[in-house]
Amino acid sequence: MATHEFDLVILGGGSGGYAAALRASELGKKVVLIEKDKVGGTCLHRGCIPTKALLHAAEVADHVRSAASVGVSATFEAIDPAGVRAYREGIVAKKFKGLEGLIKARGITVVSGAGRLEPDRSVSVGEDRYVGADVVLATGSYSRTLPGLEIGGRIIASEQALALDEVPSSVVILGGGVIGVEFASVWRSFGAEVTIVEALPHLVPNEDLALSKGLERAFRRRGIKYSLGTRFQKAEQSDTDVTVTLEDGKTFTADYLLVAVGRGPATADLGFEEAGIALDRGFVTVDDQLRTGADRVWAVGDIVPGLQLAHRGFLQGIAVAERIAGMQVPSLPESQIPRVTYSSPEVASVGITEAAAVAEYGAEDVVAYDYNLAGNGKSEIIGTGGTVKVVRQKDGPVLGVHLLGDRVGELITEGQLAVAWEAHPEDIAPLIHAHPTQSEALGEAFLALAGKPLHAL
């Protein structure tokens, strides 16, 4: 067995892993990045990037259908699945090539193969052994399913959904969170009949109730059906369709069932526990600096409990690389990480919900303001409805920003700054927003909470 020595060994080349590699290399570390598939991980190849390419294709289809409403003559003919696939794969290939070039330019060694953490803190890949002063675990996640519900045939997860070479005529989606809602939005724009089954009382149930209810109204107008508050019981498939039965006996039949019940940590059979890494329901237990229980072994990304977001992985990878280099890096509360669901309309949020604020501070000490996008000129121009909701502590800082509407994901960074800097609406109100932009809607909410609304009563 050949032994290779590095300053830093990183197991997993997804968002968290490659971010750690890039930053550590900048800081002068000799780095090896071990990845069994392709650098970029789920986000680049099977998640964030390809699904957003699909969502853009869906947006274009909707714009063509509604072109006459803005005085443009255009005719929608059909979705070309092969053309959409070529577009999506071209985007991924270009981003992948760019990432490979960046990693090469930074002098990072990439090892292709399945790595395993050994008890002596080395990582083995086949007959080779990689030893570093520090090890970062960044092995990512996989699509979960439910007990007794196996992926196969017409029962698919997001990976198989991306690979479909047809537009289904009908789909049932199990799960009303981010993945389920985004695919529902795509398939409806492509012409499919879509039904979402969510066991909890609302779609995107982790969001502020105003956003959940607003998204449900928008989906009803789009013809997207949903069943809320009743649990899944079973699914039975034939050569032509799949039938879903709920615990109340209600059934739904469609061409496919998409299982979108979340993602699990990819930590099984990788030697973690044998190397002294504590796991909790498969997730790696870490402290607030992302250190595991094993000396000089760190963990980042989807295997760490919390939000499973690519940009959280970037943040954690960078932070760990800097801590390894001896820098003091404060931990970022999960509530300060922006969250976006890229459906039509989009859902974007940062900070805590109104309900969480009331639970923490009491109803008498929390103030919330909703600004309807109907009052925003740019939103009217692009044809979107929705809302901007800002939650503050009475006479205190902004606690949460919650947005619903097409393209509002582009606004959430301002909300993140307000929440992270504990800004008061009175601090932000003097900062004028360009007209006409959707950002004005967020400005209007800050103005109203500061006691001086402009385009609102």
Active site residues: 435
Biggest CA pair distance of the chain: 74
Structure tokens at 399: 């606690």
CA distance 375 to 454: 11
Cβ(339)–Cβ(401) under 8 Å?
no
Q: Which one-letter amino acid corresponds to residue 360?
A: E
Prior bond of 436 cis (ω within 30°): yes
Closest CA to 298 of 333, 274, 281, 322: 322
Return the sign of the alpha-carbon dihedral for residues 406, 407, 412, 414. negative
Q: What are the b/e assignments for 5-39, b being 16+ CB within 10 Å?
A: ebbbbbbbbbbbbbbbbbbbbebebebbbbbeebb
Cβ(3)–Cβ(129) under 8 Å?
yes
Structure tokens at 174: 């199990």
Phi, psi of 302 (to 5 degrees): -65, -15
Instruction: Assign 299 to helix, strand or coil.
Output: strand
Q: What is the 3-state secondary structure (H, E, C) of 334-394?
A: HHHCCEEECCCCEEEEEECCHHHHHHHHCHHHEEEEEEEHHHCHHHHHHCCCCEEEEEEEC
CA distance 121 to 123: 7
Helices (H), 190-231: 209-222
